[in-house]
Amino acid sequence: DFGVLTLGDALITFNPSVTGPMRYVPTFSRKVGGAELNFAIGCARLGLNSKWVSRLGGDEFGRVIYNFARGEGIDVSEVKLVEGYPTSLNFKEIREDGSGKTFYYRYQSPILTMEPSDITEQMLDGIDLVHLTGVFMAIDKKNIEITKKLLILANQKNIPVSFDPNIRLKLWTIEEATAAYMNIFPYVDILLTGLDEIEMILGDSTEQALVECAKRFKISELVIKDGGNGARVYTNNNWYKQEAFQVTPIDTVGAGDGFDAGYIYSYLHEYEPNERLEFANGVGALVTTVSGDNEGLPELSEVLAFIRNDKVIER
């Protein structure tokens, strides 16, 4: 199948055993998180050859993430465990109404040891698409250079690039983020963004502003995700729209990453625009029905059955 490469930090995520303010939560369950890793897992479950480039702490938690990724069938040949840097952590608080907050402990993230020279042409052997997110760039200024080097290499080799801004205002300001995105957009073919995010970036989310953005940066697919309202894409001078699937969401974290994986899978397999949105909406919806950032990422057969509304035989 097709090969996809992504680059980014991963964290150990602690999910609270009870809802309410974190100071009153006595126990947590240990999980694995990180936008780009979620994407890599999503791609691997759909059957793509999924390569994830990262640095993890040379500690016990680093090994947890490494083994988890390997267990999912991800190519971890470009993941290194770095001594002296603790693996990043993140604790979640979930309120009674299901809304959440995140507390990061990622001051000396092992990903800070990556240098532009770590990005090599040979990394892109067998790769048909490069996917990046704004989280990696938000962690450190140097990461913008690393990102750019990878994008320039991909462009030179005619490998399409997808990008999800994944704004993290706990890591940088909207002004810093927007400046970095503007630097990156000229290299991007497929922009996958939340409606609220593109509104923050452009200061305007009317279709006219979105079309202008796509034209200005020569973005061939501008995909707008809008939670329970579904998604739309501007491509080939047309808008295509698809409603979300009706589900009862339990935990929406990771739905956007799953959507991205679904969109990229169907893009590489040359689905029509409406089918790409339907497939990606299917993956996103399934992710929301399971607690955890990546536990709900479906296998290919599950998405196809869900979209076709097949009955699942459980026993």
Applying CB under 6 A, the residues found at the interface with ligand ATP are 166, 194, 225-228, 230-231, 244-245, 247, 249, 252-257, 259, 281, 284-285, 288
Tokens read off for 214:
């796509």
3-state DSSP of 248-271: CCCCCCCHHHHHHHHHHHHHHCCC
> What minimum distance in Å lies between the beta carbon of 133 and ligand ATP?
9
> What minimum distance in Å lies between the beta carbon of 124 and ligand ATP?
26
Inter-residue contact 111 to 137 (CB < 8 Å): no
By beta-carbon proximity to ligand ATP, the closer residue of 3 and 296 is 296
By beta-carbon proximity to ligand ATP, the closer residue of 83 and 299 is 299
By beta-carbon proximity to ligand ATP, the closer residue of 74 and 224 is 224
Distance, CA of 94 to CA of 99 (rounded, Å): 6
DSSP characters for 99-140? -EEEEEE-TT-GGGG--GGG--GGGGTT-SEEEEEHHHHHH-
Tell me the HSE value of 176 on the side-chain side, using a 13 A CA sphere: 15
Residue nearest to ligand ATP (CB): 256
- Classified as helix, coil or strand, 193 is strand
**Closest-CA residue to 51 (of 29, 77, 89, 85):** 77
> What minimum distance in Å lies between the beta carbon of 246 and ligand ATP?
7
By beta-carbon proximity to ligand ATP, the closer residue of 75 and 221 is 221
Q: For the chain, how big is the Rg over CA atoms in Å?
A: 19
By beta-carbon proximity to ligand ATP, the closer residue of 57 and 230 is 230
Distance, CA of 284 to CA of 296 (rounded, Å): 9
By beta-carbon proximity to ligand ATP, the closer residue of 76 and 288 is 288
By beta-carbon proximity to ligand ATP, the closer residue of 49 and 252 is 252
> What minimum distance in Å lies between the beta carbon of 144 and ligand ATP?
20
> Among the residues of the chain, which ranges form H helices?
35-46, 60-71, 134-139, 142-156, 174-184, 195-202, 207-216, 255-268, 273-288, 300-308
Q: What are phi and psi of 132, to 5 degrees?
A: -130, 160
Q: What are phi and psi of 214, to 5 degrees?
A: -60, -45
**Closest-CA residue to 3 (of 52, 72, 68):** 52
Tokens read off for 79:
């993941």
By beta-carbon proximity to ligand ATP, the closer residue of 57 and 284 is 284
> What minimum distance in Å lies between the beta carbon of 209 and ligand ATP?
18
> What minimum distance in Å lies between the beta carbon of 25 and ligand ATP?
22
> What minimum distance in Å lies between the beta carbon of 172 and ligand ATP?
16
> What minimum distance in Å lies between the beta carbon of 83 and ligand ATP?
32
